[in-house]
Structure 1
Amino acid sequence: MPQQFLYTSVKPKIVFALAVLLALNSFNNKAKAQSSYELNTGWKCAAIADVKEDGLKLSDASYNSTAWMPATVPGTVLTTLLNNKKVPDPFYGMNNEKIADIYKTGAKHYTYWFVKDFKEAPAANGGQVYLNFRGVNYSCDVFLNGHKLNKSAQKGMFLRFSYNITSYLNKTGNNKLAVIVYPPDVLGNANGGQGGDGTIARNVGLQYTAGWDWIQPVRDRNTGIWDKVTIQKTGAVRITDTHVITVVPGTRLPEGPQKPAIIQMETEVNNPTAASVTGVVSYDIAGATVSKSVTLKPYATTTVKLADHALQNPKLWWPNGYGPQNLYDVKVKFTIAGKQLSDHKVLKVGVREIQSSWNEHTGSRQIAVNGQKIFIKGGNWILSDAMLRLSDLRYDAEVRFHRDMNLNLIRIWGGAMVERPEFYDACDRYGMLVFQDLWGSGDCNGRWVDPMKLDDQWTRRKYPDDHGLFLRSAEDQIKMVRNHASLAIWCGGNEITPPEDILIALKEDIFPRLDNTRWFVDYSNSEEMSNNVLGGNGDGPYGIQPLSVFWNFKTYPFNSEVGSVGVSDYESLKRFIPAKNMVAPDYDENTRKSKVDSVWDYHKYIGYDTSVAKYGKIKGAEDFARKAQLVNYDQYRGLAEGFTSHMWDWYTGFIIWKTQNPWTAMRGQMYDYYLDPNACLYGLHNGGEALHVMYNPINGMVSLANNTFKPSRSMMLVIKAYDMAGKEKLITQVFCDIVPTSTKKILSVKNVMDEMAAKEGAFLSLQLLDTDKKVLSDNLYWIADSKGEYSGLEKMKDDALTAQARYIKPGKIEVTLTNKPNSVVSFFNRISLVDAGTKERILPAFYDNNYISVLPGEQKKVIIEYPAAGLKNLAVDIDGWNTAKSNSQLLKIKN
């Protein structure tokens, strides 16, 4: 997707780095036709109120639209207005309140004409030319060169539209396109409820645009040509939708020779001409070709099923943490008369098989890949950008962050959309299984009584208004993404099923016909996923939790939503909170409520209660955000470890609510909107390790987790404690082992740690070493004193940390941290790659670990990867909890 729409509301320092990233990489959708290009520049637009002419006139080559406003396509009306400085950045401060809401202005205010001049000569020798729209919200009429292309309004945010424009192209090659885009049929009153008054769900579209507890309303409800517009050229026959199924019999391992896998292929081909066409449908994979001769009748669309192919010794695709993400290029062709290539596509296909089964012991569903059960560690995802400024490379960065969290699944929440192929491309690369909701939510669609909603539950239960549009959209979007290896689960909706007639059609017709190899679950927290716990099915808990909850409280055995907080650090907050509003929340233990600044409240701050204050009296917003990172790390490490400690006993999986924000919200995020990670990400990174040593803070038990298919043998477990002065106490070291996909308790150190921590707290160091003394897992806990406070951390002496940074190659830096012997623990160091001149962080940047503590006499290395092209004068900043001022200078990077 085009660069200019990527992060237009982001501060210039971040735009610079992302623009470099765009220049450096190009992750294109691999399912492209032989000759295809995007119409993504040079668009103009005007409000309908300012245009007197109709579409026939506007699309005539003689019409002069040079005075119209430059338009952002793909994009929304609001994106265009922002890029033309007609509205303030709605992601900053209270600016969103300064933008007119469509419910108050009426739909006409955000109804716009879009025009585009492009060059395309008429096709020769029977060739065909198509105009493709991958997403328009909500309906439109399309005109080309004085002709209207659609007989009736094209309606449906989640429908792809394609027009054969061969006969409409001008002989001169100069063409003019005009599109009028209408907002959603029902605008929704953004009255402060989840989805506002709920009526936004009468459309088949985005529900969050009327506001939610993590976002303010999107004022234009994302009206616009929001996804790609392409021109596609083919021969007489066009390949439309292809379906690839990979069958992997038996139980496999990632290593070693593989028995064959079966490739099944069918493809839809279209002959729009008046003559019959005979040709060959074929596909190539790993040097083999499978083909079939067909004759297509005039004006016919036919599905061609090819013979099954046995792929020898396949390179299999595995979820993150369990094996490599091998992908094959599958080249699909239609050749006329044995030699003339009419159309072709290249698909990226991962060879794998998804299975699901009921685990009687846990009372929940479990997922298997290639015959091996996978313990699900997931994150809930809304979408990449609330204003639909989507890009291949933002998708890549965000999915990579999820990989770096050591997660293996992303769930797409039902109030948003079926994600774009570029998102799925990234999930294929990084091994993220995808749990894809269809459109609906318990909030808008009537699961609960809600005084904020306009209609009663019985009425809301029938949403959307057009059930046929829902089903047509489902068919289309299934076809769009079903070939991706990462797609694992389809879901009827968030916390509620769609209406019964839609559900029956999905389960009994659409999925059996279009995609029958994946598990379909009726709704996101249904009894199909988990049962027999807490009196039924569900999700949660939400909000800040004592760590004891994650370890001792048995929640739902496949929990689709659990988690809450995610305030970023001070550098992040400064990007969207004005200086005058940098006021730390003030929590009152008596009332159990926080006094919160208006901007923090507007950006959906969720309370940390007493957790931050346990680190000492809050001295302001910067101090609050700094201490919140300690809570973030501990909270999400504890969540991952608590659930993992009970895998296959209490749980088959958990999915964090949530891991990212498409807006500048202050809750439920492991990185901020600007792609700057906070300590949540690295707490998960630590707690979600495939092979992991962990500590139960309640009973003091040290245990191991092995989320791989290999046994781990002859490991040395080293357990040490440190007091606040850095004095070391070896508690024990012992050889241990653990079988695959299991947990194992080793011993309790509660008595030792209670004694050491009683006065002012202590540190507990757990390390797993292999026979070469290489560290396999490294985990440091800070233990509260006898009052449950971290009194010693506030009194820690300055550390004796030294650091060096060196270039490994363009885009890759190694940082080495060394703490002197007989020093104190160098605690909780945040490493940041920055511009040496401005001191501003380079975003995005990827750290293989962060918020690192270094023990006395210890050395640790961190690898930073970042967009390399054009970036110069870089430095590394290290901000530690107890780093001496003299040691906190920026590190120059040596070659």
Structure 2
Amino acid sequence: MSIKNILASSVAVLLLTFLSQTKAIAQSQYELNTGWKCGKATDIHTDGASISKNNFPINTWQNATVPGTVLTTQLNNKQIPDPFYGMNNERIPDIYKTGRDYYTYWFVKDFKEAQPQGNNQVYLNFRGVNYSCDVFLNGHKLNAKLHSGMFLRQSYNVSKWLANDGNNRVAVIVYPADVAGNPNGGQGGDGTIARNVSIQYTAGWDWIQPIKDRNTGIWDKVTIEKTGAVKINDPHVITLVSGVRQPEGPQQPAIIQVSAELQNAASTLVTGTLQYNLDGKAVSKTITLKANSTQTVQLDDYSLKNPKLWWPNGYGPQNLYSLNLQFVAAGKVSDQNNIEVGVRQLTSEWNERTESRQINVNGQKIFIKGGDWIISDEMLRFTDKRYDAEVRFHRDMNLNLIRVWGGALIERPEFYAACDKYGMLVFQDMWGSGDCNGRWVDPMKLDDQWTRRKYPDDHALYIKSIEDQVKMVRNYASLAIWCGGNEITPPEDILVALRDTVMPKLDNTRWFVEYSNSEKMSRNVLGGNGDGPYGIQPLSTFWDHRTFPFNSEVGSIGINDYEAFKRFMPVQNRIAPEYDASTGKTKTDSVWEYHKYIGYDTSINKYGKAKDLEDFSAKAQLVNYDQYRGLMEGFSSHMWDWYTGVIIWKTQNPWTALRGQMYDYYLDPNACLYGLHSGSEPLHIMYNPGDGTVMVANNTFKTHTNMMIVVKTYDMNGKDSLLTQVFSDITPATTKRYFSIKQELDKLAKNKGAFVDLELLDYNQKIISQNIYWVPNEKGDYTGLQSMPASQVSTTARQIAKGKIEVTLINPKNAPVAFFNRLSLVDGQTNQRLLPVFYSDNYVSVLPGTSKTVTIDYDTDQYPNMPLLSISGWNLKEQTVHIQ
């Protein structure tokens, strides 16, 4: 080895040793998330300076939930009924009628923190307050002027205001949004909620009732952060991956670029080193910071050799590197940030064939299969576990993108961490929606279109808030697209600032699209506004009706089964809707209407008129599965020909709504989820129900050779018939069409319908993709299903690891199809369904003479006792199985 290489090696070793030694004395941060008290401001006739002193009595104040909203606190103190149950929400006073003072509250927290020594510093941080506030600590007001804006972080250096004895009190008065809006039944009520830099759906939408306090409160995390003299603010990590990459095999280097804003709070010069370690390599730069100054520092580019790349779900692994960024002065860590880095590069380009934008990751085009996301909880009760569960459900649907809708918020870092983990690209709308912001003439709105196009009132606050939120989430690999708003741009001056200044300066590696259905994203060759259709569709529509080439919203139905209704609907309201085919209208109970039910129309009756709600919701699952499998199959059948992507409106609800959800608010999945799980498979065999064409969609980068396609049919008694089988090679990123089975199938299904089994086998005869359809008779009814013989399936379950259960379903030869079996883990004593639980598949059908294995994951910390397995199917009465 040359002297030069020896010296370089020695320096690297010394620096790595230094990093490992200094890491142990880094800054600490903790949340102030318990022990808060609150009181209504109209009942407290004292100023903030007095309230924030320890000698001011608060022992009679009520316990407060922070992070949380006023409604969350009231609910936890049993002052209001559960707004998610029945029509309880109507029993809660609405701020539009009560006035803002009714929901204006003081929040107080006592905490221990000693005064820092030397140049050490202590900061009090708020990640989100809605809508405005004043903050006091130990008798001192911390903010010079009223802090406003739901989406603007606050950080106060409180070093000199901490108490000598370490006993401190923070007091915050929180005021609701300046304009609460009239919840008159319109989208965003009368629209004036959008005058604030806040959340729009809180005045009500077509999928949610108004939230009575409009989410007033300290709704996001409050932290104490301790550092040395120098603090690291908003580090920025960019990864550049050139060329066209594959998930496997050796990789050419990737370039890592790291910068950060350094803030010196000391009254003297500070010289130190900004440094990080990545994959055993140290990168550093020595910096001298002036007293009481802030400076942005760019570290030298680092070439990461043979990087482990991050890929969207279905295309490759979600590799993440730990990057520990530190500022070290005088041998001590002044501050550090731990960042999980996904090495990938995002690009986009115009696809001339589809006339829409396509997304590329690491040089490879990605067919977007996405879901529209509102928010995790309407009362902003966010938790890491809930975020993880919800994003995991999207992974289990075989989706690869989540669009965060513009009437809500820029999602929290914990949401993005889950998306990084599960490979979900994120299409992030900014705050605003065409409904409130003037895209259409709307008699429900207070102001005219020209006035609404100027919302919000404070443009400078909006831009400042966007800048802040971009800095907060820009390091996440999953963040793929910034969008100006839902179905409309923000006002022109805001749009120009975002497009030409904010994004180029703060986050110039991602695609910025001006609004969600912009023609710059998807050419509206069909007219309309670039999304839809909404509502239940004939399956052939998804295959044969061409819609927008990058469709940001399509879909609708999605009720859960009967167990779900028990959680939020009074017994007297558990009445199945009745559809009248002669009038085309549905008779629904008032609670169903209040929870925004969207009709299944004639589709339930095709399976036989529902006897009761339990029967109705069971049959609805068949419709759910068929609709969402068919939706994704139809779009996939035309990928890269008609379409570059599709996003389902919508995959979840932040309350107990009765439309558009793959799982309910309580995290109980329904058959929509598993229909998508099937239809969105990366390598998927399917057929067009209109013309009977069998085809295979390959959403991977691999060529699959020597694959055999097998097509069988089964009658209602389980008798099978082989229609055909053929070998084929399947090239990457294509949908390959083979042959039509329409003629044979029409003949077989004429009287009672039939089952169609499509299988894709590899050269070792292993099933890679299986797809079982139930086909109606010539009149479009499922009369055969109604007279099926009883299932003979046997079920065993065994624990194969902590929190992991393997279920095997065996259907004997000469038996009927064991059709549409729902598996559930239930409590052994109460028989209540455990939630959330994750199934590798569900609503499964087992053909005669075959078996099927399903793996189940659940949280043993939440449910320490061994559960039971419940199984029921279309032709199987509910059974309980003990787990071995």
Shorter-chain TM-score range: over 0.9
Instruction: Map 1:536-685 to 2 at 5 A.
Output: 538-685=530-677
1: CA distance, partners of 2:541 / 2:282: 55
Give 1:417's match in structure 2, choosing from 398, 401, 409. Answer: 409
Give the SS at the match of 2:116. Answer: coil
Residue pair 1:530, 1:537 contacting (<8 A) in 2 also:
no
- Write the letter of the residue equivalent to 1:166: S
Which residue pairs with 1:323 in the alignment?
A: 316
Give 1:289's match in structure 2, choosing from 282, 285, 288. Answer: 282
Is 1:169 the equivalent of 2:159?
A: no
Residue 125 of structure 1: CA displacement? 2.3
Residue pair 1:412, 1:437 contacting (<8 A) in 2 also:
yes
Is 1:850 the equivalent of 2:842?
A: yes
Which residue pairs with 2:250 in the alignment?
A: 257
2: CA distance, partners of 1:398 / 1:845: 11
Residue pair 2:760, 2:769 contacting (<8 A) in 1 also:
yes
Give the SS at the match of 2:621. Answer: helix
Which residue pairs with 1:891 in the alignment?
A: 881
Which residue pairs with 1:382 in the alignment?
A: 374
- Write the letter of the residue equivalent to 1:51: I
Is 1:449 the equivalent of 2:448?
A: no
- Write the letter of the residue equivalent to 1:253: Q
Residue pair 1:836, 1:890 contacting (<8 A) in 2 also:
no
Give the SS at the match of 1:890. Answer: strand
Give 1:266's match in structure 2, choosing from 259, 262, 271. Answer: 259
Give 2:732's match in structure 1, choosing from 709, 717, 740. Answer: 740
1:416-469 deviation line (CA, Å, top 9, x unaligned)? 000000000000000000000001000000000000000000000000000000
Residue 67 of structure 1: CA displacement? 1.2
2: CA distance, partners of 1:744 / 1:143: 66
- Write the letter of the residue equivalent to 1:132: N
Residue pair 1:263, 1:308 contacting (<8 A) in 2 also:
yes
1: CA distance, partners of 2:334 / 2:254: 30
2: CA distance, partners of 1:580 / 1:663: 21
Residue 734 of structure 1: CA displacement? 1.2
1: CA distance, partners of 2:834 / 2:413: 27
Residue pair 1:436, 1:491 contacting (<8 A) in 2 also:
yes
Residue pair 1:586, 1:596 contacting (<8 A) in 2 also:
yes
The total of aligned residue pairs comes to 860
Is 1:34 the equivalent of 2:22?
A: no
2: CA distance, partners of 1:244 / 1:297: 25
1:643-678 deviation line (CA, Å, top 9, x unaligned)? 000000000000000000001001010000000000
Give 2:499's match in structure 1, choosing from 475, 496, 507. Answer: 507
Residue pair 2:524, 2:530 contacting (<8 A) in 1 also:
no
Q: Root-mean-square deviation (CA), in Å? A: 1.0
Which residue pairs with 1:192 in the alignment?
A: 185
- Write the letter of the residue equivalent to 1:222: N
2: CA distance, partners of 1:727 / 1:316: 48
Residue pair 1:527, 1:537 contacting (<8 A) in 2 also:
no
Which residue pairs with 1:819 in the alignment?
A: 811
- Write the letter of the residue equivalent to 1:701: T
Residue 871 of structure 1: CA displacement? 2.0
Give 2:153's match in structure 1, choosing from 160, 169, 174. Answer: 160
Give 1:210's match in structure 2, choosing from 203, 213, 217. Answer: 203
Is 1:754 the equivalent of 2:746?
A: yes
Which residue pairs with 1:440 in the alignment?
A: 432
2: CA distance, partners of 1:485 / 1:350: 5
Is 1:860 the equivalent of 2:852?
A: yes
Is 1:57 the equivalent of 2:47?
A: no
2: CA distance, partners of 1:795 / 1:223: 55
Mean alpha-carbon deviation: is it higher for 430-439 or for 525-534? 525-534
Give 2:778's match in structure 1, choosing from 786, 793, 818. Answer: 786
- Write the letter of the residue equivalent to 1:550: F
1: CA distance, partners of 2:332 / 2:447: 58
Residue 232 of structure 1: CA displacement? 0.2
Residue 592 of structure 1: CA displacement? 1.1
1:113-149 deviation line (CA, Å, top 9, x unaligned)? 0000000001012100000000000000000001111
1:170-200 deviation line (CA, Å, top 9, x unaligned)? 0101001100000001000000000000000
Residue pair 2:26, 2:332 contacting (<8 A) in 1 also:
no
Unaligned runs of 5+ in 2: 1-22
2: CA distance, partners of 1:489 / 1:96: 35
Which residue pairs with 1:305 in the alignment?
A: 298
- Write the letter of the residue equivalent to 1:322: Y
Residue pair 2:26, 2:333 contacting (<8 A) in 1 also:
no
Which structure exhibits the higher relative contact order, with contacts defined as CA atoms closer than 8 Å and separated by 6 or more residues?
Answer: 1
Residue pair 2:137, 2:171 contacting (<8 A) in 1 also:
yes
2: CA distance, partners of 1:150 / 1:656: 43
Give 2:136's match in structure 1, choosing from 140, 143, 150. Answer: 143
2: CA distance, partners of 1:117 / 1:552: 64
- Write the letter of the residue equivalent to 2:781: E
Instruction: Map 1:454-533 to 2 at 5 A.
Output: 454-533=446-525
Which residue pairs with 1:344 in the alignment?
A: 336
- Aligned identity (percent) is 67
- Write the letter of the residue equivalent to 1:225: I
2: CA distance, partners of 1:579 / 1:826: 32
Residue 389 of structure 1: CA displacement? 0.2
1:66-101 deviation line (CA, Å, top 9, x unaligned)? 111000000000000000000000000000000000
Residue 695 of structure 1: CA displacement? 1.0
Residue pair 2:135, 2:170 contacting (<8 A) in 1 also:
yes
Instruction: Map 1:48-127 to 2 at 5 A.
Output: 48-127=41-120
1: CA distance, partners of 2:763 / 2:121: 65
Residue pair 1:837, 1:873 contacting (<8 A) in 2 also:
no
Residue 537 of structure 1: CA displacement? 5.1
Instruction: Map 1:770-785 to 2 at 5 A.
Output: 770-785=762-777
- Write the letter of the residue equivalent to 1:59: S
1:333-371 deviation line (CA, Å, top 9, x unaligned)? 10113x121001110000000010000000000000000
Which residue pairs with 1:427 in the alignment?
A: 419
Residue 34 of structure 1: CA displacement? 2.7
Which residue pairs with 2:237 in the alignment?
A: 244
- Write out the 4+ residue segments of structure 1 that deviate beyond 4 Å after TM superposition: none
1: CA distance, partners of 2:655 / 2:240: 40
Residue 536 of structure 1: CA displacement? 6.1
Instruction: Map 1:1-40 to 2 at 5 A.
Output: 34-40=27-33
Closer, same or farther in 2 for the Cα pair 1:620/1:33, shift >3 Å? Answer: farther
- Write the letter of the residue equivalent to 2:197: V
Residue pair 2:711, 2:759 contacting (<8 A) in 1 also:
yes
Residue 321 of structure 1: CA displacement? 0.1
1:478-511 deviation line (CA, Å, top 9, x unaligned)? 0000000000000000000000000000011000
2: CA distance, partners of 1:652 / 1:324: 22
Residue pair 1:403, 1:432 contacting (<8 A) in 2 also:
yes
Residue pair 2:26, 2:334 contacting (<8 A) in 1 also:
no
Residue 585 of structure 1: CA displacement? 0.7
Closer, same or farther in 2 for the Cα pair 1:871/1:770, shift >3 Å? Answer: same
Residue pair 2:551, 2:646 contacting (<8 A) in 1 also:
yes
Give 2:222's match in structure 1, choosing from 226, 229, 233. Answer: 229
Is 1:400 the equivalent of 2:392?
A: yes
2: CA distance, partners of 1:455 / 1:537: 22
- Write the letter of the residue equivalent to 1:647: M
Q: Structure 1 length as normaliser, TM-score?
A: 0.95
Residue 889 of structure 1: CA displacement? 2.5
1:752-776 deviation line (CA, Å, top 9, x unaligned)? 1100100011000001111222110
Which residue pairs with 1:373 in the alignment?
A: 365
1: CA distance, partners of 2:727 / 2:830: 50
1:495-539 deviation line (CA, Å, top 9, x unaligned)? 000000000000110000000000000000010111152036510
